[in-house]
Amino acid sequence: MNRALSIRSNKNGSSSSAAPRHGFSLSSLRGTVQPELSKKLYKLIKSENHLIQSHEAAGKERLSIASQLSDWGEATNDDTISDISDKIGVLLSELGEQEDLYAHNIDDSRAILKTIRNTEKSVQPSRDNKAKIADEIAKLKAKEPESAKLVTLEQELVRAEAENLVAEAQLTNVTRQKLKEAYATEFAATIERAEKQIILARHGRRLLNLIDDTPVVPGDMRAPYEYTNQARQILNDAEDDLRDWQPELEDVPSSARLENNLMPSSGSHQQTVDDSVGDETMIHADPEQSRISSGTSVTTGQVGHGYAPSETGTAGTTMNVA
């Protein structure tokens, strides 16, 4: 584990060298057309796409290997190898399916990050406008301090500052809620893949124990294979375990109750944790429990309203413009 307890690239140059070339060459090019504010997240979202593709490819390979193993086993003309290799193949192909499901779940997390990026993108003009007006005022004051236009500009500036205050509030509201939601989703997906693949791998090892690998001498006949039923039972067990699988996650409650205008909904501060989780089976883990990661039910954060630029506004919000 990274002992520095930080991987910020200015603290840790090696981490940037871990970036695959294709990831950067492409992203950095496209990134340049993005406003400064959303550039970093834009690139990160691109990289997540490469990550997703890698896991999809791994899933495909697994499926291919699974059927190749089964076919090879059949060709050995050894009943034991033929049956076990076919059933190992079944487990491997499910392992591949889980890898593919994981890729799709990361894609959901990626979509949530996009809502942050889109808000960043929309906030940039507001910042620019405020700066532009302040700049004009400074220039004009220097050139013709008595200009009547200064009054108009000052009024424009106050409006621009008010608009920007709203934009910045929307940005911090979306950023905190969606970052929490995106990674709660991604970590939940990591745990799901892991727990299901553990089920498959453990039953796989049980299957291997049905192979009698006691060596024979030339001319000896192998004892006939008699574990067909046990082997099938192991597959049934694996299937049952997968069907019975339940997510057990530490709750990641959200206090975010955002209106479409990305402002707090009335009463969001009185909201209790229970309201915030759309999961009936939820149990709350106390810190001790969570420490030993025997967590509770799956929660990947509240799915808030997506960002809706058309509805941006200060309607129903109080303002403390200094």
Q: Binding to a second copy (CB under 8 A): which residues in 192-231?
A: 193-195, 197-206, 208-209, 211-220, 222
Count of Cβ atoms closer than 10 Å to residue 16 Cβ:
11
Does 252 participate in binding a second copy (rule CB under 8 A)?
yes
Q: Judged by CB, which is closer to a second copy: 215, or 224?
A: 215
Q: Judged by CB, which is closer to a second copy: 129, or 177?
A: 177
Burial of 24 (0-12, 13-18, 19+ CB in 10 A): middle
The footprint of a second copy on residues 32-71 (CB under 8 A) is 40-41, 43-44, 47-48, 50-51, 54-55, 57-58, 60-71
What separation in angstroms does the CA of 210 have from each of 84, 88, 188, 234, 241? 8, 11, 34, 10, 20
**Both tokens assigned to 56:** 């999809």
Does 239 participate in binding a second copy (rule CB under 8 A)?
yes
d(CA 234, CA 209): 11
Q: Is 262 left (phi over 0), alpha (psi -120 to 50) or beta?
A: left
Shortest distance in whole angstroms from residue 289 CB to a second copy: 11
Please state at what angle helix 79-143 crosses helix 228-244, rounded to 10 degrees: 20
Shortest distance in whole angstroms from residue 142 CB to a second copy: 30
Per-residue mark of binding to a second copy, 102-141 (x: CB under 8 A)? ----------------------------------------
Q: Judged by CB, which is closer to a second copy: 136, or 314?
A: 314
Q: Judged by CB, which is closer to a second copy: 61, or 135?
A: 61
Q: Which of 122, 177, 297, 312 binds a second copy (CB under 8 A)?
A: 177
d(CA 268, CA 257): 6
Per-residue mark of binding to a second copy, 261-300 (x: CB under 8 A)? -xxx---xx--------------------xx-x-x-----
Q: Return the DSSP state at 297.
A: B
Please state at what angle helix 228-244 crosses helix 149-208, rounded to 10 degrees: 160
Strand partners, 248: 297
The footprint of a second copy on residues 303-322 (CB under 8 A) is 314, 317-322
H or E element at residue 136 = helix 79-143
The phi, psi pair for 297, rounded to 5°, reads: -80, 165
Q: What angle do CA 168, 174, 178 make, to 5 degrees?
A: 150
Shortest distance in whole angstroms from residue 253 CB to a second copy: 7
Q: Judged by CB, which is closer to a second copy: 8, or 143?
A: 8
Q: Judged by CB, which is closer to a second copy: 147, or 209?
A: 209
Count of residues near a second copy by CB under 8 A: 136
Shortest distance in whole angstroms from residue 134 CB to a second copy: 18
Shortest distance in whole angstroms from residue 116 CB to a second copy: 9
The footprint of a second copy on residues 145-164 (CB under 8 A) is 162
Q: What angle do CA 246, 251, 253 make, to 5 degrees?
A: 140
Q: Judged by CB, which is closer to a second copy: 115, or 173?
A: 173
Q: Judged by CB, which is closer to a second copy: 160, or 199?
A: 199
Three-state DSSP state, 248:
strand
Task: Tell how far CA 34 is from the center of its chain.
Answer: 22
Does 86 participate in binding a second copy (rule CB under 8 A)?
yes
